[in-house]
Amino acid sequence: MFTLNYTNEAEEQYDALKKDKGLKKRYSAVKRALSYLKTNPRHPSLQTHEFTSLTKLIGKKVFEAYAEQNTPAAYRIFWYYGPDKKEITIIAITPHP
């Protein structure tokens, strides 16, 4: 099991999603994806893969996990392992353009 840490940006994005009643279904999908991420970052439904452009920018291996699939503007979660063992830092929770 991993502990999830959130950057300020990711926390604001998650809170905004939670508060928007029109995005209730999307919030549920993100919440479920975060639960999977916490227990198994390689859960098949997350379709986790490295996001190389952010890896180069941040200098840490950054991953993208799917909260939704086959949906316009589907939500994605960007994250990396750390800073300590058994920790994951969420850097962004955003809709896919």
pLDDT in tens, 6-63: 999 999 999 999 999 999 999 999 999 999 999 999 999 999 999 998 888 888 999 9
DSSP letters along the chain, please?
Answer: --EEEE-HHHHHHHHHHHH-GGGHHHHHHHHHHHHHHHH-TT-GGG--EE-HHHHHHHSS-EEEEES--SSTT-EEEEEEE-SSTTEEEEEEEEE--
pLDDT at 97 over 80: no
Q: How far apart are CA 48 and CA 40, in angstroms?
A: 10
pTM: 0.92
- Residue 65 pLDDT grade (very low, low, confident, very high; cuts 50, 70, 90): very high
What is the set of domains in the chain, with CATH numbers?
3-95 (3.30.2310.20)
